[in-house]
Amino acid sequence: MDPALLLLYMLVFPGFLFLLGYAFFLQFVDRKVSARMQARVGPPLLQPFADFVKLLGKEVITPRGVDGKTFGAAPLLALAAVMTAFLYVPVIGGSPLAFEGDLILVLYLLTLPTIVLFLVGWLSRNVFAALGGVRAVTQLFIYEVPFYLVLLGPALAAGSWSVSSIVEWEASNLWFAALQPLGFVIALIGLQAKLERTPFDIPEAETEIVAGPWTELTGRRLALMRLTMDVSLVVGSALIAALFLGGPLLPWPVEPAWFGAAIGFLLFLAKTLGILLVLSTIKMAMGRIRIDQLNAFGWKYLASAAMIQVLAVLLLKGWSIP
Amino acid sequence: MAEVVVPIGPQHPALKEPVNFKVVADGEVIVRLELDVSYNHRGIEKAAEARDFVRVVPLLERVCGICSHSHTTVFVKGIEEAMKVDVPPRAQAIRTIVAELERMHSHLLWLGVAAHEIGFNTLFMWTWRDREAVQDMLEEITGNRVNYGINEVGGVRRDLKPAVINAALARLPLLEQRIATYADMASRERTMLMRFQGVGKLTKQQALDLGAVGPTARASGVDYDVRNDDPYLSYPDVPWKVVTDDHGDVFGRTLVRVGELREGLGIVRHCLENLPGGPITTKAPRAAPRAEVLSRYEAPRGELVHFIRTNNTDKVERLDIRTPTLANWTSVAVSLVGQNLADIPVIVAAIDPCLSCTSRITVVDREARRTRTMDWEELRAHGIRFYREKEGS
């Protein structure tokens, strides 16, 4: 790819600029859909952006005894990590930056925000934030194992560790949502837990521990951390769309190339929005469970089911390739 | 994690009113807690001594925003008893209608709050939307949404016109349907069951020992309801039953309140359909003879007690208010121990605390980091000294 085009891909479309815009849009859709389900009116289209700008202008308060530089850098690190992850997820076709093993990189980068939240909670010198941080990391150990396992399922079946190659495999064969339905469901549950949305909003349970690790975040730090979660939502749903729903590729070739890219982009939008609708419905239909209940649920059922899924993939693959 | 002290309140998102718990937790499990009420002293009991029986009723209406009708009814009931005034049956029925509507809006509000405490905001939004139907009925009947201003010594201040009765009756079927939906949700929705069942256990013996009242006691199998045990208003004439439950946990308290929603709706419907004729008020004397009355009333949160001493004047000599929340606090302190940190909000909310009714004065010494409570004599002496120094006499 032409270096100038590559730069355009990274910075403008479908890279960072589009990503930020789409993150705000998904937040809007999430809030609007939730509001309608709760018989409320909901925010206007630009509300998420307005909230972001407003928070940027607010005073930044550093708690006494907290290292302001580390505290301020943490949200930036989280945001940078999830934005980088987006570059390897197919949006209008395979990613030009794809390499063998980028799936692992994306998963790793997607985990960073949770680690950062734990750090922020621990650094805050605030009992609610510390408790929330401990909860965040406990929750990480519960959902991350099944989430990783089921996302590796498509990679094992397609014989590639690159998201873009898995999408190509799906274009010539079948969607993994049909081949590995159990894995698809667990991936959705894992994403819900990763994004700390009800019923897994345990680390930031408002009525219990104020805002958990977020308690001492103010001004632009809070704005950036919220943006990180929105971007995580985009990357997470795009990743699941790519791994399980065939991403932006059609099973047959489309000419000319620009038309194919446009179709791919529309497919991307439709699939990520569909996933968001599922996540929002789960969020609205349930209350928050306790961390011990999540522990029992995660390790007893989710992890076992994920292992069964991976075992089934391995066995079937061994069967078909003698 | 080692033992940590988690301060809940006086300002906390789970609390709508100021109260303070110092919760000592070992990781996520609560070891013990210290309870500190009284951030919101308003001196209403004292103010009541300075107003005659006409002016004191609007004041008492403002003890609590949710059970405003409870406080006025229990007071006028006591004064009428002291004056030996017979209230016309139509007035009694109208008071009953408002009382049960108040119970319904309070319980709907509670259901929403309990759902919100476990992060189930959809139910919160839904119940509060349907609570509006009850509030609209109250507004049509009394003219107000919160402080109804319907009671006076000797009767009620507004009559029910046939149009209002028909409008209220027309609203009931939809409300009945919604209540059935919530009853269904409360007993079947999975996350609610996970968070409510077995949480905040209070045995029947504990409930009796700690003097728990209202839905908190009834959910532990204590069959105590002032409406039944010491009947007043129109309750003896209306078919209804006391709702009890044997679960003894937050789940049981939910079932009791949902059951009372149903019963309340039945009582309102019966009273509206069989409203007795006649006047709505009798002329009460201006002064009450010397008497001491203990007036009891089943408020939405439990037994509400007004102790009234009159002294041949048109003012009360002493008014003492014992709110149901005060009676229920100790049961919270017991049922919290050994529970999860995450369960504090829902256990506290399960007694439906109404804090500003409950507060007594507390002194906080910021230098010594101590708090203590002032008793009445001390407070009186302090007040006299304070104003003497201020006035410079």
Q: How does pLDDT run along chain B (393 residues), one tens digit per residue?
A: 567 777 777 777 666 677 777 778 777 777 777 777 667 777 888 888 888 888 898 988 888 888 889 999 999 999 988 888 888 989 999 999 999 999 999 999 988 888 888 888 888 899 999 898 899 899 989 888 888 888 888 888 888 888 889 988 998 999 999 999 888 888 888 888 888 888 888 888 888 888 888 888 898 888 888 888 888 888 888 888 888 888 888 888 899 999 999 999 999 999 998 888 888 888 888 888 888 889 989 888 888 888 998 888 888 888 888 888 878 877 887 887 777 777 777 777 777 776 655 555 455 555 565 666 666 677 777 777 777 776 665
DSSP string, A20-68: HHHHHHHHHHHHHHHHHHTT-----TTHHHHHHHHHHHSPP-PPTTS-H
Residue A28: band (very low, low, confident or very high) from pLDDT cuts 50, 70, 90: very high
Whether residue B362 is found in the same domain as residue B248: no
- With CB atoms and an 8 Å threshold, state whether A38 touches B125: yes
- With CB atoms and an 8 Å threshold, state whether B120 touches A290: no
Whether residue B344 is found in the same domain as residue B362: no
Q: What total number of domains does chain B contain?
A: 2
- With CB atoms and an 8 Å threshold, state whether B119 touches A40: no
pLDDT for residue A196 is more than 70: yes
Whether residue B214 is found in the same domain as residue B90: yes
Each residue of A242-298: pLDDT tens digit? 888 887 877 777 777 788 788 888 888 999 999 999 999 998 888 888 888 888 888
Q: What is the pTM of this model?
A: 0.81
**Residue B391, amino acid:** E
pLDDT at residue A256 in the model: 78
* SS3 of chain B: CCEEEEEECCCCCCCCCCCEEEEEEECCEEEEEEEECCCCCCCHHHHHCCCEHHHHHHHHHCCCCCCHHHHHHHHHHHHHHHHCCCCCHHHHHHHHHHHHHHHHHHHHHHHHHHHHHCCCHHHHHHHHHHHHHHHHHHHHHHCCCCCCCCEECCEECCCCCHHHHHHHHHHHHHHHHHHHHHHHHHHHCHHHHHHHCCCCCCCHHHHHHCCCCHHHHHCCCCCCCHHHHCCCCCHHHCCCCCCCCCCCCHHHHHHHHHHHHHHHHHHHHHHHHCCCCCCCECCCCCCCCCEEEEEEEEECCEEEEEEEEECCCCEEEEEEEECHHHHHHHHHHHHHCCCEHHHHHHHHHHCCCCCCCCCCCEEEECCCCEEEECCHHHHHHHHHHHHHHHHCC
Q: How far is B258 from chain A (nearest CA, A)?
A: 18
Domain parsing of chain A, residue ranges = 14-35+44-317
Q: Which residues of B touch A293 (CB under 8 A)?
A: 194
pLDDT at residue A53 in the model: 93
For A205-214, A224-233, A267-276, B259-268, which range has the lowest pLDDT when averaged over its residues?
Answer: A205-214
Spatial distance between the Cα atoms of B22 and B46, rounded to a whole number of angstroms: 31
Residue A87 main-chain phi, psi, to 5 deg: -65, -25
Return the bridge partners of B302, or none: B299
- With CB atoms and an 8 Å threshold, state whether B122 touches A199: no
Each residue of A94-123: pLDDT tens digit? 777 888 888 999 999 999 999 998 988 888
B182-201 residues touching A, CB cutoff 8 A? 189-192, 194-195
Q: What is the average pLDDT value for chain A, to the nearest integer? A: 87
Whether residue B119 is found in the same domain as residue B155: yes
- List the single residue in B with minimal CA-CA distance to A198: B119
- With CB atoms and an 8 Å threshold, state whether B13 touches A206: yes
Whether residue B145 is found in the same domain as residue B105: yes
SS3 state of residue A301: helix
Sequence-separated (6 or more) residues with CB below 8 Å from residue A255: none
Whether residue B142 is found in the same domain as residue B237: yes
Whether residue B328 is found in the same domain as residue B364: no
B95-124 residues touching A, CB cutoff 8 A? 115-123
Whether residue B206 is found in the same domain as residue B262: yes
Residue A237: band (very low, low, confident or very high) from pLDDT cuts 50, 70, 90: very high
Whether residue B33 is found in the same domain as residue B52: no
- With CB atoms and an 8 Å threshold, state whether B119 touches A291: no
Nearest to A287 among B125, B191, B343 (CB): B191
Nearest to A287 among B7, B119, B125 (CB): B119
Each residue of A31-79: pLDDT tens digit? 999 999 988 898 999 999 999 999 998 988 888 888 888 888 889 999 9
Output the CA angle B108-B114-B120, nearest 5 degrees.
105
pLDDT at residue B357 in the model: 58
- We report the CATH number of the domain holding residue B132 as 1.10.645.10
Nearest to B13 among A134, A198, A207 (CB): A207
Provide the 8-state DSSP code for A19: H
pLDDT at residue A275 in the model: 92
Whether residue B29 is found in the same domain as residue B92: no
pLDDT at residue A23 in the model: 92
Nearest to B342 among A127, A134, A291 (CB): A291
Spatial distance between the Cα atoms of B353 and B372, rounded to a whole number of angstroms: 22
Whether residue B246 is found in the same domain as residue B300: yes
Q: How far is B126 from chain A (nearest CA, A)?
A: 6
Residue written as token pair 């076709």: A93
Query: What ipTM describes this predicted complex?
Result: 0.80
**B11 interface with A at CB cutoff 8 Å:** no
Query: Structural domain of residue B324, as residue ranges?
Result: 44-350
Interface test with A, best of B128, B341, B343, B344 (most A CBs within 10 A): B341
pLDDT at residue B32 in the model: 77
Spatial distance between the Cα atoms of A100 and A19, rounded to a whole number of angstroms: 23
